[in-house]
Structure 1
């Protein structure tokens, strides 16, 4: 796969996540001295898209300067009456009014829909929290599609949050204002809020399915490494790739779908908004191959906290408290000796949304399938199912164990994941809580612990 990766990288820019990129589709289209010259090259219009307030600390500045054929005001509806509310049945935003049950939740994968279903039509909100209006929280969604947005001459612009896309089945072709790129399973893509784009099926792909997160909070960053060090570990910023500038000069009848304050609006537009000839900045779409993630793990004993698998974080104003963390469980070695290797039983102050992209998950090796989702909200007890308990207890831990061909992920947030009514009514696996009921009782007050086995001297009675 590495040779295929190199071929695809030829169409992409190397840089660093959150760092500055620049690209031009025509030579000299990008002004070198200033942002807004009186007479821009090629008769282009300069346009700034800001992703942060003007007065935030410089390290948090996010913006991109676009040099385009027409300003974005011409890629919008002519009159307010042209914006028609789209009462979408499944892609919805919080807050929700129905109760949130205090129980472990699992949801089946979405089925592949009928032919002619694009990304917007095939989006399903599984759970959400916070508020897009308050720019706080996030929503966890799935998509299942059988046609490209470009086939329907439809564009999407999300003002509510940044999108994190995770293909699970089938490859996507993202066509954005800043350029185009393919996203395959095992890869992720980030599309910043405010940019117009299309989600297409990649050549040769007949249908696609996956997950996407809508992050209403602060922009994603690669997490601090602390004692891990400075040069390696987890996701390296240099492995995030941005697209080269590509533009289309096309007039005609198109539809723009705008997501604003939790609602979807449809409006006609007369030109393609993908007409950016050059750009520079750090508010850019990008992709990352999760096979490049440098996993960190114990080489002695016990199971570390899942934060060692963090790829991206959206921080809050409280140090160490995430609006949402994106964590993966990639292929890796588990050498922990004398240790119950699956994740332990736990109750967290944070809330977890789990998904499986391929393979199996070690805490639920048989019952959690690719494309499915689970939610374990704050202080709801959860952990390995009965099969994982038996395997983890009886396994010979004198030899390392390799987890291969698997990729699970977690979106962990400080807010409760509130499942949507659609997910509860049509996708819910009502038997999920029963997976723990056959975990055996093993307590034996007469079985004295061995000092050699547990590394302590037992207290005399």
Structure 2
């Protein structure tokens, strides 16, 4: 069992640290200086609040023939909440890139990155080694870890950033020892190091208190020849998720599909949950099987990695997203409602060839200016998917067996 697997299997709090043995210490660099922020922000007051149901068409990837954009310059903050300086909150970012990071790396002083690729493969170099990442896999780069990203084509994905806490496996409670994301399926980087000097200097980019800074150093930051500890990057293949589902009646809450959680100080309440909706069997009887219409206290950002989400017949596409804010009603579109209402309740496969996910938070998320105004992908007609819904209320009709 690997170091990562051992620490995830532990059910009690324990310190997280790692010792890194370098060719030269990481302190050997020039002073940090502020650089262009691009579209990265943690200013949640750029535009006024919007409680409406929001949906974005697939986010557009810049063409390499027009402009080279790497992972860092292709970061766009979509929404978030909280305060970095007090280590409490989260942000949702989109990454849209077409080029590899050359002689530069990135690290986040503010929080952890949970990276969800949707299009294109990534090769991620870290101080702990390297790991490949492709759609239907996720990785977590924890706070302070330096990394660089190579891409091989136009690449797109989603990032959930949390500050002040780390991602961990949810408590399984009555489920027992096995289920959901099992510790044995989490992987750490493959051993690798780099011993080279860079003509003109290697650029280290740091996100600190929501701002971007950069410094130069003569050597690669990936000059770690050995390490030990339990504070590492890690990856997970979503196909390994062991689904728990309703087998009698009713529609279970999405919490049963939680892969990783970032807990708050309130028991049972998360700053953020990473939830997936994988292929599974639907067998519930006497039940409207898609998610029912609801309002709740959570903020729900959904994305689609591939396929076709079962609660939306159109408009919710791979590479796009939706945001349903706290106490804003949402649920299946009209076409989905009609189809599910007439379907024969027999065992059926749900979501084959599909992987949708949700970043769910107890915080009230504010959308950035880029998400509401600058980005051309906002779907202004999202609300129309519910307009065809009709009333089926017939209070005076009774079945022949009902008493008068």
**TM-score normalised by the chain length of structure 2:** 0.94
Equivalent residue in structure 2 for 1:352, among 281, 300, 303:
300
Match runs of 1:5-404 below 5 Å: 15-16=4-5, 18-19=7-8, 59-74=13-28, 76-77=29-30, 79=31, 83-115=32-64, 116-149=68-101, 152-201=102-151, 205-230=152-177, 232-252=178-198, 253-404=201-352
Q: 1: distance between equivalents of 2:315 and 2:46?
A: 31
Q: Structure 1 residue 13: deviation in Å?
A: 5.1
Match runs of 1:440-455 below 5 Å: 440-448=390-398
Please, which runs of 5 or more residues in structure 1 have no aligned partner? 1-11, 21-56, 452-457
Q: Is the 8 A contact 1:119 1:143 kept in 2?
A: yes
* Cα deviation digits, residues 314-364 of structure 1 (max 9, x gap): 001111000101000011111112321110000011111110000011111
Change (3 A) 1:429 1:270: same
The structure having more radius of gyration, on CA atoms, is 1
* Cα deviation digits, residues 58-102 of structure 1 (max 9, x gap): 72311111111111101x32x3xxx33223231212433421111
Q: Is the 8 A contact 1:119 1:148 kept in 2?
A: yes
Q: Could you say what secondary structure the match of 1:16 adopts?
A: helix
- Partner of residue 3, structure 1: none
Displacement over 4 Å in runs of 4+: 12-15
Q: 2: distance between equivalents of 1:450 and 1:229?
A: 47
Q: Structure 1 residue 15: deviation in Å?
A: 4.6
Q: Structure 1 residue 450: deviation in Å?
A: 8.0
Q: 1: distance between equivalents of 2:140 and 2:228?
A: 17
Q: 2: distance between equivalents of 1:67 and 1:368?
A: 47
Q: Structure 1 residue 14: deviation in Å?
A: 7.1
Q: CA RMSD in A?
A: 2.0
Please, which runs of 5 or more residues in structure 2 have no aligned partner? none
Q: Is the 8 A contact 2:4 2:230 kept in 1?
A: no
* Cα deviation digits, residues 29-53 of structure 1 (max 9, x gap): xxxxxxxxxxxxxxxxxxxxxxxxx
Change (3 A) 1:144 1:366: same
* Cα deviation digits, residues 250-297 of structure 1 (max 9, x gap): 112111110000000122221111011111111100110000000110
**1 or 2 for the larger relative contact order (CA 8 Å, sep ≥6)?**
2
Q: 2: distance between equivalents of 1:214 and 1:63?
A: 20
Q: Is the 8 A contact 1:239 1:292 kept in 2?
A: yes
Q: Structure 1 residue 17: deviation in Å?
A: 6.7
Q: 2: distance between equivalents of 1:352 and 1:165?
A: 17
